[in-house]
Amino acid sequence: MEQQEQAPNIIIDLIKVTKLYTPDVHALTDITFSVNKGEMIFLTGRSGAGKTTLLKLISKVETPTKGMVEVDGIDIAKIPRRNLYSLRRKIGMAYQDFKLLPERTVAANIAVSMEVVYRKNSFIIKRTRELLEQLGLQSKINTPAAELSRGEQQRVAIARAVANYPEIILADEPTGNLDAETTGRVMSLFHDLHQQGATLLIATHDMSIYNDQHRVIQLEFGQQNSYQASGSDISTQATNY
């Protein structure tokens, strides 16, 4: 069993993952890497390199053309549709296109991820307040999402992703529309969650948000190049096709 061969602290494992969008878009080619429990990893690469695609493969929003994705030791391709919720509950994903419900308020948008796991109302209210305060959005709590600026929408999407304390947080360009101060707020939220044991995978163009200590996986034309941000390659598995 492949589950038993793995080191026990690996939470996300990609093995030779290839994603082809029909007819011939090679979004990802032979990607292999693992993420340990409690790690905070950055995913970089040019626009179109396949960052979003990679995150979507991990939450099974897309399925790989070849290769295997394991989360928590489970080959996610084998999760039947009716049990998909168990994977999705482990993962909080902040989408690049936010996926907010435009006519709902900020509070309602954030509550969605907690409602589906039947959190108590008191918990939902407390957690929503706390997150909005941390992200500097207290005054917008009852504003419909459609009336927010992009930067505000982005923060609501992040709040929704992390609200239920997921084990894994996937953030797609979480600071793309933010100024330096607000970026700081978002990153300190992520650092807090990291401290509390969450595993984070953050796709970004923003070099200011990671430093020498972080592992960085760089995608180039759908192929990977991982290194410690300091520049010393720890593994280079780029393959040609």
Whether 11 contacts 76, CB under 8 Å? no
74: left (phi over 0), alpha (psi -120 to 50) or beta: beta
Query: What is the per-residue binding string for ligand ATP in 29-48, x denoting contact by CB under 6 A?
Result: ----------------x-xx
In the list 10, 20, 61, 238, the residue contacting other proteins (rule: CB under 8 A) is 61
Instruction: Return the residues of window 33-52 that contact Mg ion according to CB under 5 A.
Output: 51-52
Contact positions with ligand ATP (CB under 6 A) in 83-142: 96
* Site track for other proteins across 112-151, x = CB under 8 A: xxxxxxxxxx--x---------------------------
User: Is 134 an interacting residue with respect to Mg ion (CB under 5 A)?
Assistant: no
Long-range contacts of 184-193 (CB under 8 A, 24+ apart): 185/134, 185/135, 185/136, 186/135, 186/155, 186/158, 188/134, 189/131, 189/134, 189/135, 189/158, 189/162, 190/40, 191/40, 193/162, 193/165, 193/169
Q: Which is nearer to ligand ATP, 27 or 110 (CB)?
A: 27
Q: Which of 19, 51, 140, 160 binds other proteins (CB under 8 A)?
A: 160
Which residue, 212, 188, 186, 217, is CA-closest to 201? Answer: 217
Provide the minimum distance between the beta carbon of 51 and Mg ion in the complex, in angstroms, as a whole number: 5
Site string for ligand ATP, 2-21 (x = CB under 6 A): -------------------x
Position 35: which residue type? V
